[in-house]
Chain A
């Protein structure tokens, strides 16, 4: 249960003693904190901002003024070399650090299938469950961060994607936007008692694992090991937003989405390499798309992302943190009878930036009506290969499914040229 990483070995030594001394543990922890503060600034991370439901990117990042599909919004100039929607002014000011890939063609226009494809780079296939990219980062990067005591993949607001064949110990650690983590507090229980419990649990687990009933036992044991680590960790303070100054919190925007992005920044600072933010949903705009965007979704999105980028720049973290903002697909260029837009995966846009990638660019191009791509097109595997490149994960990394089937990282995609 505790065979991975230094802190767990340390922990095991207590377990073996049947819960005698706890001295040393605190010293050990404070040592870790110091270390973490030094190195985390230069550690690579990715923040995925998920627009659940599929955002109308034609109204956000790739406007079509003058077309019948153009909708109600006007484009505005930005700090980068491209125009975006007038209702995203804060982001526009920070577009020097962000780019838009305007030629995504991803063919899956069903919510579940699209979410799977965009998160994993693979189309759904009944013979294997592919890992969501956050789990890939946990597996590739998180396991190498000896000082990281909390899970390497944190999902704020229930991103329900699976770690697939990489195993439950790379599953997202889910928290809500308030940063409340239920049941992570051991209360007043002393260390000795916890050690006693864990050593008894380990005995039961080992018996079950040896009984030849598949991998569930080992997976369960791994997750428990990580759960114990996080319960004891000082790094959990990253979830406590009340340590931030009120003006910072105001800048991000109070409430779910702003709080989530602020928490994401704090998690990056303690060394978490992948954070998914899934607290600004409701993009499935089959009806009344323009009013909903203008009055509800875009102001929140603008304030949150704009402030995050400004904050990362100011802290000198922008070159280490890659940001991706997307949903499962875009929405139809054509405006439907209910003044909405339906599902559309053929030609849409994703916001990408940071991590040393080029900012201020529009990559790829759609035609005047937004209905087809007139440049190279990109798949989610290309996006994730770009993220892997930015995070220094070698692109020739190959994972092996449970059945021994080799799987290239990011499904063999290539980093997007205009971004690197």
Chain B
């Protein structure tokens, strides 16, 4: 579906549902719907979605939908009724016809629905999996204008291979990195060609170097690494660097940071051992354990939070009858929004979206309980909580819940169509972990692909990242399919998935837009084409860590995880707080706001960085005998990983001339301040 087309029809549909469609708009919509099958389908889906949500958000549960709609004629005061009337009078027969068409499509599930990803059960036909040379390592590497893809002879050479037995299907299908990368490139180019865009030029070494450091390690390269890389003349230096970075301790730390934030948020206000969770994740990522194993351990963890790091995930979410645990588990691991189904049925119920399904998933958490471990404190003379444990009570039977009309219902633990034995002897969370990683395997893999892709490109293949399903258009269904297959076949090897993406042509494109791809602008709501690198604002952690790398303002920590983490957490606390509701989300003042701006201009960390104190990067540069231009260049490389532009040299040197006549701190500190405060420093481009 072309972007322009979507852009024309979506506002019209929205206006229709919002009662704000003009007569001209209505005529245009009618024309589109009559002329184009694509538009017809979109129209039907949109109306069905809207109808389900609106009607259902009223008084009744989804099974009452039809009855309610019939009743509606006599109750002309509520919005849904007005909408319905309006629809009937203005679009009349068209709507009826469309609804009839809908019924046919829904019941028949005809395979030519263009926006349904076609899932082929026949793995052997899959291009990735049937690629030639799959058992050899002499495959010619796909060329990306530069020697970009992995040149190492065996995949995952530095990481221990995934030790757990692979899924039955996957184990029989070998696959090498080069063919996956080549497949990504092929599919990408086909997309660009279809959409009539040309990819941007390849990113310069300095641009790409900063990018890959930020994405893989979570911080910018120090100036030594910049100097070394820019001076390196080897053709395959990019792939060598990727290999090196993936074995850097910060690689696992970066992944642990990202997933800790997803799993329990950033605030430290919740009574959990956040550092313990982070440590568990770091170890899992360092050893590159299969993602299925990590997920299973998080879902089924039992024990004292201080000893069992993974238990802290659910310890954070068992409040309010484990409603948050249910919602967060689905959203983080499966990129699925289930919390809405507490009130209304999902528009496509084949995707699992009814109120009962929400509570069936919730029922897996029914046995989970938080136990407070208390100890007598002789100083206060009281028993005090020293830690909390996650346990499973030996409890069976159904979970009870009230629907919106106050009728009591029961739900038994059931996931992906599999009901489990509700006896008290069965550990439900262990069963859930098993089902997610077996029956739910494809969904788990697709979600991992979407999150990982978005991590590197700033946009997922499906957006919003965590709302996947038939109602969310995918920017590149074939690519999603190929990568999902590959992840399953690799036994959920996250490092290899990262490597494929980082080795693809798209990841090496410049962020500079050209006349041939200016239309590729996903911030405006178009489906992303990835024809250039989109700007990604640095996360709070990336900004903090990058400031330390650039300036050495705070030498503490780099070698001690706990201390470094504690420093960072203290700094982050200024920007994050818990939202006061029962769903455990965070609020932030970070992200290009005044708080961030003022911190960069006047905050302690930046002040220390430009204080010219011994040991700081500024001091190391300022006290050399090099000339002023060289010093400016060193500062530019330290902050931005590139050399200064001519205009910068001219202006800075003239400013420094003024500054030399004035008393005060090291004038070069102001140059450094300017680089650190630039847009370029605060984005990954």
Residues in chain A within 8 A of chain B (CB atoms): 18-19, 52-54, 105, 107-113, 125-128, 151, 158, 160, 168, 171-174, 181-187, 190, 192-193, 196-197, 199-201, 203-209, 211-217, 219-221, 223-224, 226-228, 230-231, 281-284, 286-287, 332, 334, 336-337, 342-343, 345-346, 371-377, 379, 401-403, 405, 408, 411-412
User: Which of B78, B402, B534, B594 neighbours the largest number of chain A CB atoms within 10 Å of its CB?
Assistant: B594
Q: Which 3 residue pairs spanning A and B have beta carbons closest together?
A: A127-B525, A281-B580, A200-B674
| Closest Cβ neighbor of A214 among chain B residues | B535
Q: Which residues of B contact A (CB under 8 A)?
A: 6-7, 10-11, 14, 18, 20, 53-54, 57-59, 77-79, 320, 339-340, 342-343, 402, 404-406, 463-464, 472, 511-514, 521, 523-526, 534-535, 537, 574, 577, 579-583, 585, 587-589, 592-595, 597-599, 601-603, 645, 647-648, 651-652, 654-655, 658-659, 662, 664, 670-671, 673-675, 677-680, 682-683, 685
**Cβ of A193: which chain B residues have Cβ within 8 Å of it?**
659, 662, 664, 670
Assess whether B513 is in contact with A127, with CB atoms less than 8 Å apart. no
Query: Are the C-beta atoms of A201 and B582 separated by less than 8 Å?
Result: no
Contacts of A126 in B (CB 8 A): 463-464, 472, 525
Given contacts A107-B57, A343-B343, A403-B7, whether A334 and B594 have CB atoms under 8 Å apart is no
| Residues of chain A contacted by B512 (CB below 8 angstroms) | 211-213
> How many angstroms between the C-alpha atoms of A342 and B321 in the bound complex?
13
Q: Is the CB of A227 within 8 A of B57?
A: no
Set of chain B residues within 8 Å of A109, measured between Cβ atoms: 57, 343
Q: Which residues of A contact B603 (CB under 8 A)?
A: 182-183
Min CB–CB distance B486 → chain A (angstroms): 26
B513 to chain A, nearest CB (A): 5
Q: Which of B594, B645, B654, B675 is within 8 Å of A173, CB to CB?
A: B594
Q: Is the CB of B592 within 8 A of A412?
A: no
Q: Is the interface of A mostly helix, strand, loop or mixed?
A: loop
**CB-defined contacts of A127 to chain B, threshold 8 Å:** 6-7, 10, 524-526
Q: Please give 13 more A-B residue pairs, beta carbons under 8 A apart, in addition to A128-B524, A199-B651.
A: A52-B579, A109-B57, A160-B588, A174-B594, A182-B595, A183-B603, A203-B652, A220-B678, A224-B601, A284-B582, A342-B404, A372-B59, A403-B7
* Minimum distance in angstroms from B218 CB to a CB of chain A: 20
Chain A residues whose CB sits within 8 angstroms of the CB of B598 once the complex forms:
181-184, 227, 231
Q: List chain A residues, Cβ under 8 A from B525.
A: 125-128, 401, 403
Query: Closest residue to B603 on the A side, CB-wise?
Result: A183
Total A-B Cβ pairs within 8 A: 229
User: Within 8 Å CB of B583, what residues of A?
Assistant: 111, 284
Q: Which residues of A contact B645 (CB under 8 A)?
A: 207
Q: Give chain A residues whose Cβ lies under 8 Å from the Cβ of B673.
A: 197, 200-201
Which chain B residue shows the least CB distance to A18? B658
> Contacts A126-B463, A224-B677, A376-B77; is A107 near B593 (CB within 8 Å)?
no
Would you give the shortest CB distance from A52 to chain B, in whole angstroms? 5
Which of A158, A182, A200, A371 sits near B652, CB closer than 8 Å? A200
Complex partner residue of B662 from A192, A216, A220, A343, CB under 8 angstroms: A192
Instruction: Give 20 CB contacts A-B under 8 Å.
Output: A18-B654, A107-B79, A158-B588, A160-B587, A182-B598, A183-B599, A196-B655, A197-B674, A200-B652, A200-B674, A203-B651, A204-B680, A206-B647, A208-B679, A209-B679, A220-B682, A336-B402, A336-B406, A346-B58, A402-B524
Which chain A positions have C-beta within 8 A of B577?
158
Say yes or no: B662 contacts A284, CB within 8 Å.
Answer: no
CB <8 Å contact, B651 and A105: no
Closest B residue to A184 by CB, please name it: B598
